[in-house]
Structure 1
C-alpha cells in the first residue's frame, strides 16, 4: 500500500506507543512510591520527555538523513560502533515493552472472560502470543492499514480513559474525596524517583522518527505530532492518577495495579466500570503493541541499511518494514511474554530509554551554537535523565533486588553480544594471530 501517514495517524502512533500497558502496570508502582503525589511524578516525567522530544526535532532538522537515535549518533559523533550498540539496546527495550504490553493484554482478556485455562493450557500466555501474531499480520498490510487501525484503537482507549478521569474528577470533587498531596510538595523526592520509574510510559513518541519514510510532509507533521502527543499523554496520566489514588484504596493500587482503575471506577460508574476499564486496557495494550512493532521494524530496517544488524534479520532494500524483521521481532516478543522475566526486561527498557533520551538531549545541547536550538530546553532533558538514572537503579536495588540483578545480567548480556558483533573483525584478526603464533 502506498498511502502515507497524516497528522492524525502520526499522533495516533505516538499515543499508541505511550498510553499502553504502562498506565495500568506502572501506575501501581508510582502510587506506592509517591501516593497522592503520583500526578506530580507524571508531570515531571512528561516535562523531561518533552525536552527530549524537542531535542529529537532539532537534531532531525540539522541531520542530513532521517533515522532517529542511531542516525544522530553516527552523524554528530561519527562513531558507528557506539551508534550500533545504542540501536541494539533500543531494540531490546522495544521488545521488552511489547512483551509487557502483550502480557497485560492477555491478563485483561483473561479477567474479562473469566476463564483461566483452555485445553489444559493457561489462557494468558496463549492470548498474549495470539495478540502478537495478529499485530504482526496487521503490519504486513502496510502503513495505512496500521495507521487506520491505530486511529480506532487510540480513539477508543483515550475516550474511555478521559470518561473515567473527568467523571471521576467531578465525582471526587463533589464528594470531597480528591487528594492532590499539596502538603507534601517540596518535602519528598518520591515523585522524582517515581518519575524515573514511569519514564517507560513516555517512550512511544520517538517511534515516529523511524517512520519518516511513511509520513507525508514529514518536516511539518513530525514536530507537530511529537509536541501534541506528549502533552495529551501527560494529561491523561495525571487525570487517571489523581482519580485512582483518590478513590481506590492504597493497598489495591499497590498490590493489584491492573485492577486499581476498575476499583476506583465503582463508586461513580458502578459494575459497568470494570468492563469499560478492561476494554480500554485491551485497546491500550493492543495499540501499544501495534505502534511499537510498526516503528521498531522500520528502525531495524534503518540499521540494516547501515550494516548495523546482520542480514539474516531482514532485507535492507525491502519496501516498508522487512517481512523477516517483523517475524523476528514478533517471535522475540512472544518468547519474552511467555517465558521471560518481564519485570527485569521492562526495567531494562526504561533504563535504556532514559540513557538514550539523555544522550539525544546532550547531542542537541552540543549544537546550542546553532540558531535553531534553544540551549535551555535540551539542558533540562540532560539534567532530568541524569537524575533519573541513579534514582531508578537505587529504587531497583532497594525495593526489587532480584529485578536489579536481572537488569544487570540483561545489560551485561546485551553489551557482550554487541561487542562480539561490532568488534568481530578485530576478534577474528586476534584469533588468527594467535593461531599463527601457535
Structure 2
C-alpha cells in the first residue's frame, strides 16, 4: 500500500462509512414511517447531506489548518467552548452510530435459525450486540485497522451484494410477481417522508470521517472534495434501490420484523432460481460483515477524533492520554462501554433518532459556517443555505417523532442533552467559573460570629 490514499480509496472509505451499516440499520425504521415513499426520504436526506458535504469542502479549502468540524469552529468563531460542544456532540453521534450498528448486528445474528432467542436467561439480541462491541474494542486495542486496499475490496463486496439484490428485486417485481409497483405518490403531501428523511440522516454521515485524517490522503482538498461528491449520490441510489424493492416485495415483513426485512426480500427474489435460502443467508452474512466492519471503523475513527480533542484540551484527561502512540487505550474502552450501554438498553428507533439528532446539529452548524463565508468568491451561498434550512427543519421533526412514538425516550434524550450541555459548560468555562467564585468569596469576606 502507498503512503497516501488516492481518490479510489477515499471513495471506498466514504462509501464504507455510509453503506457499511446504515442501510441495514435504518431501512426498517424509515420504511415503517413512509413505506413506498421511502425514495423521497432518502433523496431529501441525501440532498441535505450533499449540501453539508459542500459546506465541509468549502471550509476545508478556505482553512489553513486542515481538519473537520472542531477545527472549522475554532478557525472561524475562535471560541473554544463552541468548538468543544460541537466536538462532544459529534462524539455522541459516533457512539449512537456504533450502537445502531451493533443493534443491527445482533438482530441479523438472531435471524439465523440456529441462534437461540435467549442465552442464559437474557435476550440474545442485546448479548450479541454487546459482545460484538467488546470484540471490536479488543481488536482496536490490539492495533487492528483496515488498509485502503482492503477497504476497496470490502466496499466492492458490500455494494455489489446490495446492487445485485436491488436489480434482481426489480426483475422479480416487474417480471415474476406481476403485482403493481407502488411509488408512494399518495404520501407525498404529508410530513411522513420529511420525518423519515430526518431519521435516516445518520445513514449519510460516513463521508465526513475523511476530514480527520487528511495527512494520509494524496492532494487532500481536491481528493476529498471529489470523494464526497461521488460517494453521497452513489449511497442515495443504493438506498433508494434497496428500499423500494424491500417495501414493495415484503411489506408484511416490515410490519412484523422490520429490522431484518431485507433478508426476507432477498429470499423472495432468489426463489425463482431455487436459491431462496441461499439469498437470505448471503444477505444476512453481508449485513453481519457490514455492520461489524462499521463498528470497527467508526470506533477507530472516533477514538482518533477523541485523541485530537484531548490534545486541544477539549476533553478531560481522564478520557485518555493525548500523548499515547496510536489511539489511547482508555479512550477506546470508554467509547466501547458507552456504546455497549446504548445498544443494550435502547431500541433501534431511539438509537437511530439520537444519532441522527447529533449529526443534524453538527452538519447544520457547518452549513451555517459556510454560509457566513458567502462573500468569498469560492462560496455559493445557496447550497449552505439549503443545508442550514434543511437541518433546522429536520431537528424539530426528529424531536416530535420521538415525543410522539417514544415519549419515554424523548424525555430521556432531553435529560441527557441537558446534563451533557451542563457538563460541557462546566468543563469549558471552568476557569471563568473559578474566577467568579474567587471574586464572590473575596467580596463576602470573613463571616463574623455576631452576624
Deviation, structure 1 residue 140:
5.1
SS at structure 2 position matched to 1:348: helix
Residue in 2 that maps onto 1:93: 93
Match of 1:228 among 227, 230, 249: 230
1:348–1:410 contact (8 Å) kept in structure 2? no
Q: Indicate if the aligned counterparts of 1:393 and 1:404 stay in contact, CA closer than 8 A.
A: yes
Which residue among 371, 376, 382 is the counterpart of 1:376?
Answer: 382
Determine the structure 2 residue equivalent to 1:172: 173
8 Å contact from structure 1 (residues 139, 145) kept in 2: no
Output the CA distance in 2 between the equivalents of 1:20 and 1:66: 26
2:313 corresponds in structure 1 to 307
Partners of 1:98 and 1:289 within 8 A in 2? yes
Call closer, same or farther: CA 1:115–1:149 in 2, change over 3 Å. Answer: farther
Q: 1:246 to 1:149 in 2, by over 3 A?
A: same
Structure 1 position 342, deviation (Å): 5.7
Superposed, 1:13-92 pairs within 5 Å as 13-92=13-92
Matched, 1:347 2:349: no
Unaligned runs of 5+ in 1: none
- Range that drifts further, 216-225 or 381-390: 216-225
Task: Using structure 2 for the length normalisation, give the TM-score.
Answer: 0.89
More deviation, 375-384/331-340: 331-340
Note the residue ranges of structure 2 that are not aligned, 5 or more in a row: 271-275
Q: State the TM-score, normalized to the length of structure 1.
A: 0.91
Report matched runs for 1:216-295 at 5 Å: 216-249=218-251, 251-269=252-270, 270-295=276-301
Cα displacement (A) at 1:310: 1.6
Query: CA offset at residue 246 of structure 1?
Result: 0.6
CA distance in 1, matches of 2:164, 2:438: 66
Give the equivalent residue in structure 2 for 1:155.
Answer: 156
Residue correspondence of structure 1 range 100-249 to structure 2 within 5 A: 100-112=100-112, 113-118=114-119, 122-139=123-140, 145-174=146-175, 175-177=177-179, 179-181=181-183, 183-184=185-186, 186-249=188-251
Cα displacement (A) at 1:63: 0.9
Q: Take 1:323 and 1:13, find their aligned partners in 2: how far apart are those partners?
A: 24
Distance 1:227 1:142, change over 3 A: farther
Measure the CA separation in 1 of the matches of 2:407 and 2:120: 36
Shift of 1:19: 1.7
One of 401, 413, 426 as aligned partner of 2:432: 426
- State which drifts further: 25-34 or 276-285: 25-34
Question: Which whole-Å deviations, capped at 9, do the CAs of 1:15-71 have from their partners, x for residues lacking one?
Answer: 222124432332222222222111111011101101110100010111121221111
Matches of 1:130 and 1:399 in 2, distance apart?
A: 29
- Given the superposition, is the C-alpha separation of residues 178 and 203 from structure 1 closer, same or farther in structure 2, using an over 3 Å criterion? farther
Contact 1:13–1:291 (CA<8 Å) still a contact in 2? Answer: no
Matched length: 437
Q: Spell out, residue by residue over 1:366-387, the C-alpha distance to the aligned partner (whole angstroms, 9 max, x if none).
A: 1111111111211211121111
Change (3 A) 1:237 1:107: same
- Distance in 1, matches of 2:267 and 2:131, equals 31
String of CA shifts for 1:406-426, please: whole Å, max 9, x gaps: 211121121121112112223
Conserved in 1, the CA contact under 8 Å of 2:34 and 2:193? yes
Classify 1:130/1:35 alpha carbon distance in 2 versus 1 (closer, same or farther; 3 Å): closer
CA 1:120 to 1:344, structure 2 compared with 1: closer, same or farther past 3 Å?
closer
Match of residue 373 from structure 2: 367
Matching of residue 330 in structure 1 with residue 331 in structure 2: no
Query: C-alpha deviations, 1:98-125, integer Å up to 9, x for none?
Result: 0111122122223224234456665434
Per the TM alignment, residue 341 of structure 1 is displaced from its structure 2 partner at its CA by 6.0
Structure 2 distance, partners of 1:150, 1:331, is: 26
Report the CA distance between 1:291 and its aligned residue: 2.3
CA deviation map 1:242-295 (0-9, x unaligned): 10111012x421341122112222332122222122111112211221221222
Question: Does structure 1 conserve the Cα–Cα contact (< 8 Å) formed by 2:15 and 2:231?
Answer: yes
